[in-house]
Amino acid sequence: MPLFKLSISTFGLEAGGAASDLLTELAEPRALAVTLFEDGPASFLIEAYYETEPSLEAAADALSALRAGLGEAMLEAVPEQNWVALSQAALPPIAAGRFVVHGGHDRARVGARRIAIEIEAGEAFGTGHNATTALCLEAIDRLTRHRCFARVVDLGCGTGVLAIAAARVLPGARVLAVDNDPLATAIARTNARLNGVGRHVRVIDASGFAHPLLRPPRAFDLVLANLLPGPLVELAPAMRRALRPGGVAVLSGVLDHQAREVGASYCAAGFRLLARSRRAGWTVLTLVRVTPHSTRHSWPERTCAACARKLLKPLAALGYTVDIKPPAPPTSQLSFWLRQGVGFRDDGWA
């Protein structure tokens, strides 16, 4: 069935926002979708889609109070399209480390050397096409190449893609996927079964660590949290209680300019920054929970930063950023993390 598109140019964001709100509220005919695009300096374009042909006169009457900020309205029929096929074609498989996230329509295109995770486009957040999800998958890939994590939590799991990835590379691990959106948890359960890890991933409805399975004395080795800066900062003390000493937190959903605030809150809570990855304006922070002794420790007199960088040089080849500045962990702790395959980065965050 063809659709009808009503297009109106506007001058100024305020006029555009008001016009799009009015079109959204019109009862007859009801718009399927109303979008507002920036079309140039101080100019915006409103597009409203309808199943039945709207009246230009009725739209003009509804918008009459805003005429000073509106341009000419245009109505056109949109040719019938296979919108599902078009949306699938616009979302090709995404490779991130050893993983490739794909829809069911691309199942045959995935190479045998990749760890395939099937997630349909249009589901809850987390199809791999967002930079934050892809960066988290790459962090999981790096961390699990050289260390085993027995207990894993995916906070704000969305589609469950991160929990599924962890379960695929850590077959003996117990993985919890947590979200406060019932739709997301239902989708995550379905996706876990679809990807063959339904028995290894337990999906629970909760906000943050507010669930008996997440509270002390239970301790986790790895927490994946693709959230927002505000909730991440609030969760810093609870994150420390949830992780074992030496446990790792991967934090995402953070814009580049927000990374310092989030990192500082975790350093204050007893974490040290291991790695930081950036892409398309987003940052992912990988941190380790350290003991009070190691957070107070300064460089031993006979240990220099150059020696530490030399110790951790193999990690740089794996994609970690190694930039150690005093105060830093003792040589024994550096050696421990070298064996685990994780490098330190300390930016101070002051």
Model pLDDT for residues 299-320, shown as the tens digit of each residue: 333 334 555 555 555 555 545 5
Q: What angle do CA 342, 344, 346 make, to 5 degrees?
A: 155
**Contact by Cβ (8 Å): 226, 158:** yes
CA–CA distance, 10 with 28 (Å, rounded to integer): 22
Q: In the block, which residue shows the tokens 């975790």?
A: 266
Please state the separation of Cα 4 from the chain's center in Å.
35
Regarding beta strands 99-102 and 115-118, do their DSSP bridges make them parallel or antiparallel, or are they unpaired?
parallel
Q: Which residues in 3-41 are b (16+ Cβ under 10 Å) and which e?
A: bbebebbbbeeebbebbbebbeebeeeebeebebeeeee
Question: Among the listed ranges 131-135, 265-269, 310-314, which one has the minimum average pLDDT value?
Answer: 310-314
Phi, psi of 222 (to 5 degrees): -145, 130
CA–CA distance, 323 with 328 (Å, rounded to integer): 10
pLDDT tens, residue by residue, 122-132? 544 455 567 89
| Radius of gyration, alpha carbons of the chain | 25
Averaged pLDDT, 260-275:
94
pTM above 0.75, yes or no: no
**Contact by Cβ (8 Å): 125, 159:** yes
Domains of the chain with CATH codes: 3-80 (3.30.70.100), 130-290 (3.40.50.150), 294-350 (no CATH)
pLDDT at 104: 77
Model confidence at 188: pLDDT above 70 = yes
Model confidence at 221: pLDDT above 80 = yes
- Which of the four pLDDT bands, split at 50, 70 and 90, describes residue 55? confident
**70-78: strand order across its sheet:** 33-40, 43-50, 3-11, 70-78
pLDDT at 122: 53
**282-289: strand order across its sheet:** 201-205, 174-179, 151-155, 220-226, 243-255, 282-289, 271-279
Q: 252 Cβ partners below 8 Å, 6+ apart?
A: 132, 133, 135, 136, 224, 225, 226, 227, 282, 283, 284, 285
- Which pair of structure tokens corresponds to residue 171? 């077959």
Q: 213 Cβ partners below 8 Å, 6+ apart?
A: 176, 202, 204
Mean pLDDT of the chain, nearest integer: 78
Averaged pLDDT, 19-42:
72
Q: In the block, which residue shows the tokens 């892809």?
A: 134
Question: Among the listed ranges 27-41, 194-208, 221-235, 267-281, which one has the minimum average pLDDT value?
Answer: 27-41
**Contact by Cβ (8 Å): 291, 174:** no
pLDDT at 67: 61
- Residue 282 CB neighbour total at 10 angstroms: 20
